[in-house]
Structure 1
Amino acid sequence: MTSVAAPDGVTLHPEHGAASWRAIGTYVDVRTTPEALTDAVDLVAAVVDEVDVALSRFRPDSELALVNASPGRPVLVSPLLVGAVRVALEAARETDGIVDPTLGEVLVGAGYDRTYALVPSDDPSPAALPSAPGSWREVHVDDSTVTVPPGASLDFGATGKAYAADLAALTVVEELGVPVLVSIGGDLRVAGPTGRPVPPQPVRLGHNLADLEAGGATTTVTVGAGGFATSSVSARRWRRGGRQWHHLLDPRTGSPADGPWRTVTALGHTAAAANTASTAAVVLGEQALGWLTDRGVAARLVAHDGRVATTPAWTLTLPEDPR
């Protein structure tokens, strides 16, 4: 397969209608019709940049940073951030707070206070954790403002990339009228124009990007229109004060989720819905399989010991490639 590296760092495979690049600390993949690829990449890259400016917890000039720095006061924000907050709060409602967007202070106290690449892998400093983490019910959002309660800060680690994938895919469909797959850090959305079939897309699953790049054990499935997401505790890990941390927190304890699942992949009508389900499953631990099954979610769960479990909907919807 030949590839052309564009000046902006995007690797294009025009003959296959595929492109990939790195942004916001992760990877971005786009698939669409070959003739629309360049324009689709431009649209997706623009959305990713806008999301970074609005949602980044690590940029002092982001809208989110301004909101978090103004507890108890409404802050005028863009429609993009309003949408992100509403998606995050919907995830909290759907999971009874298991996926909680107000754990930013816990992550900061645990040492995840900068872009992950800059977080020390082993910091002996003690964690400085808040006494009462999580207050998502007290977040207020209207059409133009967001207010966070004192003692809390928003973090979109669970839904932010998925929200960006949804927004980018729908932007391509609206502007170009072509089917598209957008994946941002493994949160994936497949969409197409109304009334036109969306070609199924093969997707390779692994525990994390390093596993995929190293040629580790993977599973390939074929997905159609909708969302697809994987949550894993095998990446974004660090030590602080002699304790192992990762980015998926259990709001009931304020500690890293410590259940049996290393990786959970789920489907949803959007990437945000899929990520909500996969994140909740990791946090719920032993209760996850029943929770997902009761809600009809197609999901695949991989335990730390390699055991694989799937929900009935997964088997019916996504038969795995036998290769």
Structure 2
Amino acid sequence: MTTAATAFRALGTTAEVVVTDPARLSTAAELLHEELAAIDLACSRFRADSEISRLHETAGRQVRVGPLLAEALGVALRAARVSDGLVDPTVGAAVRELGYDRDFAEVAGREFGFAATGRSQDGGSAGHDPGSAGGLAAAGRSYDLDVVEAAGCEFGFAGGFAAAGCSQDRDSGRDLAAAIGEPGSAGQARSGEPAADTGDFAPPTPAPGWHRVLFDPGQRLVVLPRGVRLDLGATAKALAADRAARRIHSVVGCGTLVNLGGDLRAAGRGPAGGWQVALADDHAGAVARPDATVALHRDFALASSGITRRRWRRGGRTVHHIVDPRTGDVPEPRWRTVTVAAKSTVDANTAATAAVVLGTGAPEWLARRRLPARLVGLGGDVVTTPGWPS
């Protein structure tokens, strides 16, 4: 089966779409552009004109948000619930205090993550360097990862996005702001380069907690407490991958793979043997391990989180973009990369990020949730959970 792909920069990363019918590639690319533009306008904390920025400006008051932001917020709150609070959208102030207060596109190198292999490229390299980890890698062996049976438990859900923590009475019409309490200080946002190391910063402060956000998904009503800043970075990109893959497949009718900087979602019938996905553990130029290639099948997802990308100096130390909501600081380092397979990109990304935060206890945590995963330690040691191909 002939496939075709194209890639472009979006959301501070590389966006790629691969289809099994080359004649459908142009339409698929247009649809991906539309989905990413919409999610950026709704959820970007770096845009003054985004809907989430306007939500921050109305903190403490009840606001009706648009359908896409409501979906993204529901996804983020659900992620917080199913991850036991290890992935929490109220880390926005903590992330900014660490110095990540602007888009990373200008300072980031090649994107960490995955690339589909063994297919034709539209327009040449499609933004990948074949000679480096995470690019187009020749796989030594291919393992069949059938997550239909492997991925499951509370994380495994197909289609739709359930909101979490939403017990408000949708019909009461009461002012949700009346129930809000004022949290403690979540830290002050500051401007400047993410790479700056001024030495002048506040001590880490735990995230206020996702349960402080009042959200009625039926009416799309939100009350964001004063002092709480949202960061949907842990889930919004993954949501975009899920939405885009489903929409593209429904329109073009052929097999589709969407890759947003390592957040992958397949939809429809893929190539024979599945989509060949080369995993990149180390983004410092090392060649991908010959056993680090898996076959992703229809309607399932892979996602990865790690600490080898998006790093900068702050207060005399190296920090990165993953924050432990319990401390407001970067987590104790144990894994440089965690890759998870699930029935949606949101679930896979949520679990991968939670595992980085959790550290040593991550393999057991993932196994209890029946999520196939591959964890690569700081020293290169590899740990897998049941269901991941050995």
TM-score under structure 1 length normalisation: 0.87
Give distance in 2, aligned partners of 1:227 and 1:37: 20
Alpha-carbon distance in structure 2 between the residues aligned to 1:93 and 1:120: 29
| 1:230 corresponds to | 304
Query: How far has the Cα of 1:241 moved from its partner?
Result: 2.1
Deviation (angstroms), 1:270 = 0.3
Alignment of 1:263-282 (within 5 A): 263-282=337-356
Give the corresponding residue for 1:11: none
SS of the aligned residue for 1:314 comes to coil
Map Cα deviations across residues 150-192 of structure 1 (whole Å, 9 max, x no partner): 2211101211110110011111122222221001111110012
**Alignment pair present for 1:179 and 2:255:** yes
Q: Is the 8 A contact 2:324 2:357 kept in 1?
A: yes
Determine if contact 2:101/2:194 at 8 Å carries over to the other structure. Answer: no
Contact 1:105 1:130 in 2 (8 A): no
Amino acid in the other structure paired with 2:13: T
> Are the counterparts in 1 of residues 205 and 328 from structure 2 also a CA contact under 8 Å?
no
Task: Letter of the 2:374 partner, please give it.
Answer: R
SS where residue 183 of structure 1 aligns? strand
AA in 1 matched with 2:7 = S
1:144 to partner: Cα distance: 2.6
Partner of 1:107: 95
From 42, 65, 74, the equivalent of 1:54 is 42
Unaligned runs of 5+ in 1: 1-14
Give percent identity, aligned residues only. Answer: 43
Q: Are the aligned partners of 1:54 and 1:64 in contact in 2 as well (CA < 8 Å)? A: yes
Task: Measure, in 1, the Cα distance between the counterparts of 2:205 and 2:358.
Answer: 22
| Residue number among 278, 283, 287 corresponding to 1:216 in the alignment | 287
CA distance, structure 1, for counterparts of residue 281 and residue 222 of structure 2: 35
1:258 equivalent to 2:245? Answer no
Cα separation, partners in 2 of 1:18 and 1:131, compared to 1, 3 Å: closer
- C-alpha contact 1:179 1:191 (8 A) present in aligned 2: yes
Give the TM-score, by structure 2 length: 0.72
Deviations 1:180-228 (A, max 9, x none): 1001111110012xxxx443101111136x54xx453342211112111
1:293/1:313 contact within 8 Å kept: no
DSSP 3-state at the match of 1:281: helix
Query: Is contact 1:135-1:149 (8 Å) kept?
Result: no
Higher relative contact order (CA 8 A, sep 6+): 2
Contact between 2:206 and 2:326, CA under 8 Å: does it hold in 1? no
When the two chains are superposed, the root-mean-square deviation of aligned CA atoms in Å is 1.7
Total equivalences in the alignment: 295
Deviation at 1:148, TM superposition (A): 1.5
1:158 aligns with 2:229: no
Q: What is the DSSP-based 3-state SS (H/G/I as helix, E as strand, rest coil) of the residue aligned with 1:313? A: coil
Given candidates 3, 6, 9, the residue that maps to 1:22 is 9
Measured in 2, the distance between the counterparts of 1:134 and 1:205 equals: 35
Contact 1:111 1:127 in 2 (8 A): no
Q: 2:213 maps to which residue?
A: 139
Separation in 1, partners of 2:206, 2:336: 27
Is the contact between residue 262 and residue 304 of structure 1 (CA under 8 Å) also seen in structure 2? yes
Amino acid at match of 1:262: R
* Partner-residue secondary structure (3-state), 1:250: coil
Deviations along 1:34-54, whole A, 9 cap, x unmatched?
121110000011101111111
Give the number of the structure whose residues are more often strand, by fraction.
Answer: 1
* Distance apart, 1:130 and its partner CA: 6.5
Name the CA distance, whole Å, in 1 between partners of 2:66 and 2:11: 19
Structure 2 segments unaligned to the other structure (5+ residues):
108-192
The match for 2:367 is 293
Q: Which residue of 1 aligns with 2:133?
A: none
3-state SS of 2:387 partner: helix
Within 2, Cα distance between the matches of 1:257 and 1:174? Answer: 40
Q: Secondary structure at the match of 1:107?
A: helix
Specify the structure having the higher radius of gyration (Cα): 2
Q: Which amino acid aligns with 2:349?
A: N
Cα distance, 1:102 vs structure 2: 0.6
1:90 is paired with a residue whose SS is: helix
CA contact (8 A) 1:250 1:257 kept: yes
Conserved? CA contact 1:110–1:129, under 8 Å: no
Select which of 260, 270, 281 maps to 1:207. 281
Which of 75, 100, 106 lines up with 1:87 in the alignment? Answer: 75
CA shift digits 1:59-116 (9 cap, x unpaired) = 0000011112222222232211111111111110001101111100001112111112
Asked if the contact 1:133–1:251 (Cα under 8 Å) also holds between the matched residues in 2, the reply is yes
Contact 2:206 2:325 in 1 (8 A): no
